Structure 1
Amino acid sequence: MYSHIMVPVDLAEKDTLEKAITTAADLARHYGARMTLVSVSGGIQAKVSHSNAEYGRRLAQFADDISATHGITIGAKNYSVPDPSVEVDKKLVQAIEDLNADLAIIASHQPGWVEYIVNSHGGRLASHAPISVFVVREER
Structure 2
Amino acid sequence: MAEEDVIMYTHIMFPVDLHLPPEVRKAADVAAEVAKWQKAKITVVSVTGTQPGDPVQTDATTNEELRAFADQLAKNSETEVAFLNIHSVDVAAEVDGDLKGAAEEIGADLIIVGTHAPRITDYIFSSHAGYLANHANVSVFVVR
Post-superposition offset of 1:14: 4.0
Counterpart residue number, 1:131: 138
Counterpart residue number, 2:3: none
Task: From 82, 88, 94, give the equivalent of 1:81.
Answer: 88
Distance 2:113 2:68 in 1: 19
Counterpart residue number, 1:35: 42
Aligned pair count reads: 135
Runs of 4+ in structure 1 deviating by more than 2 angstroms, as ranges, are: 13-16, 68-73
Counterpart residue number, 1:63: 70
Contact map agreement 1:41 1:52 (CA 8 A) in 2 = no
Post-superposition offset of 1:136: 0.3
Contact map agreement 1:6 1:37 (CA 8 A) in 2 = yes
1:25 aligns with 2:32: yes
Contact map agreement 1:5 1:101 (CA 8 A) in 2 = yes
Helix, strand or coil for the counterpart of 1:104?
strand
Task: From 7, 12, 17, give the equivalent of 2:14.
Answer: 7
Structure 1: gaps of 5 or more residues: none
Counterpart residue number, 2:4: none
**TM-score, scaled to structure 1:** 0.89
Distance 1:25 1:134 in 2: 13
Structure 2: gaps of 5 or more residues: 1-7
Return the index of the structure with the highest Cα Rg: 2
Helix, strand or coil for the counterpart of 2:19?
helix
> Structure 1 stretch 57-66 or stretch 11-20: which is displaced more?
11-20
Post-superposition offset of 1:93: 0.9
Post-superposition offset of 1:13: 2.9
Counterpart residue number, 2:5: none
Aligned residues: CA RMSD: 1.5
Post-superposition offset of 1:69: 3.3
Helix, strand or coil for the counterpart of 1:134?
strand
**TM-score, scaled to structure 2:** 0.87
Contact map agreement 1:5 1:102 (CA 8 A) in 2 = yes
1:51 aligns with 2:58: yes
Give CA deviations for 1:31-74 in whole Å, capped at 9, x if unaligned: 1111111110011542xx62233212211111112222343321
Counterpart residue number, 1:95: 102
Helix, strand or coil for the counterpart of 1:76?
strand
Give percent identity, aligned residues only.
Answer: 40
